[in-house]
Amino acid sequence: MQRKNIEGQTKGLNIFEKYLTVWVLLCIVGGIVLGRVVPEAAGFLDGLAIRVGGAPVVRIPIAVCLFFMMYPIMVKIDFGEVLKAGRSIRPVGLTLFVNWAVKPFTMYAISMLFLGTLFYAFIGPDAVDVVKVPFGVDLPAGASYGVGKIIEVGETRMWQIPLWRSYFAGCILLGIAPCTAMVLVWGYLARGNDGHTLVMVAINSLTMLVLYGPLGGLLLRVGRLPIPWQALLLSIAIYVALPLVAGYFSRKWIIGVKGEQWFKERFLHVLTPVTILALLVTLVLLFLFKGDTILSKPLTILWIAIPLFIQTTLIFALGYLLAKVLGLEYRDAAPSAMIGASNHFEVAIATATVIFGLSSGAALATVVGVLIEVPVMLMLVKICLRTQKWFPKGPL
């Protein structure tokens, strides 16, 4: 008899989730080919934007895709369950500690070590990335800003920064975005506590409203990429707060009209593929712009993937070890470790595109996080299953 998750549905990897790495690779190829066949498409889509002071602040096609990446996650949040989370203080406390007190800083150190030192020569000491001028920066062309300078590209002011630091910025945005909704699948496959996993997804989404902006601003500023608070606030407002509010009120309305059973068994079932479909469309758009970079430097993805892989496995090992030290039952230990290891790549992609632009190296780095998510997390699931005897089993 199969276990049921907290939403009352049998949970496992659907075709989109199981082959996510394949779909991502196809989108990379599709985006590059489309950019070659229809080169004017990138310029047209880039022009569909809301502008402030002549600078594009929100690109409409991406904003629509990113909203539909986030909304299906947010509509699943049951605030009643979140309020009950205090009863499980040890697993909740462990997850919050690893996600917010450890993970952002290890990501900074690991990405700085690899991208800024070990792979520096491979990426190119003189290679630069021309990204958006962050919202809130009003400097003339020729002015220095952070580690780069403001330049003019046509009639638009842009920010020229070292290419490796652009990749570094994307890694940071991933490192401060713990836990995607797909962690519900990883927790289920590892035979973990589905209730705890779902509550922690909700708590992390709410915590991001408070901590994502300040942590991102701090680490990027230390990395000599100062981002004004306005830019971070705009990203959080559009891509976290707006879908959260929409999810809360639509959930309340749908349950009131159709009932909770219909919401869980019908509505969520239809909604499940929407996040990944929106993600895949976003990736096609992104690689419309990044095709030349990938073709000219095909090892770029590898240089980014290595520090992300090390970060993921390190955070998993730390969370799993601390769960053992705290004496957690296996059903809480497994998802607690994987919640920290998994990245909320939807938020990271959204923030990178809002702050640095769709064609930036930062946006590319967040996409590499998507590329390695499934194979790495499935590896960690297998590790959990083989080591579950290390922990008390607790009630089934």
Domains in the chain (CATH in brackets) are 15-388 (1.20.1530.20)
Average pLDDT over residues 234-256: 86
Spatial neighbors of 156 by CB under 8 A, at least 6 apart, are 54, 55, 56
% pLDDT > 70, the chain: 85
Does residue 392 sit in helix, strand or coil? coil
Does residue 126 sit in helix, strand or coil? coil
DSSP codes joined into one string, 320-344: HHHHHHTT--HHHHHHHHHHHHSB-
Query: Out of 115-124, 189-198, 336-345, 382-391, which region has the weakest mean confidence (pLDDT)?
Result: 189-198
The DSSP bridge pattern shows strands 148-153 and 144-145 to be antiparallel
Residue 281, CB-side half-sphere exposure with 13 Å CA sphere: 16
Average pLDDT in the chain: 82
Name the residue with higher pLDDT: 86 or 358.
358
Checking if the pLDDT of 293 tops 80, the result is: no
215 vs 199: CA distance, rounded Å: 22
Predicted TM-score (pTM) of the model is 0.82
List pLDDT tens digits, range 10-41.
Answer: 345 566 666 777 887 888 888 888 877 877 77
Average pLDDT over residues 235-249: 84
Name the residue with higher pLDDT: 42 or 157.
157
Q: Are 36 and 158 in contact (CB under 8 A)?
A: no
Checking if the pLDDT of 52 tops 80, the result is: no
List pLDDT tens digits, range 151-171.
Answer: 988 777 899 999 999 999 999
Q: Are 377 and 338 in contact (CB under 8 A)?
A: yes
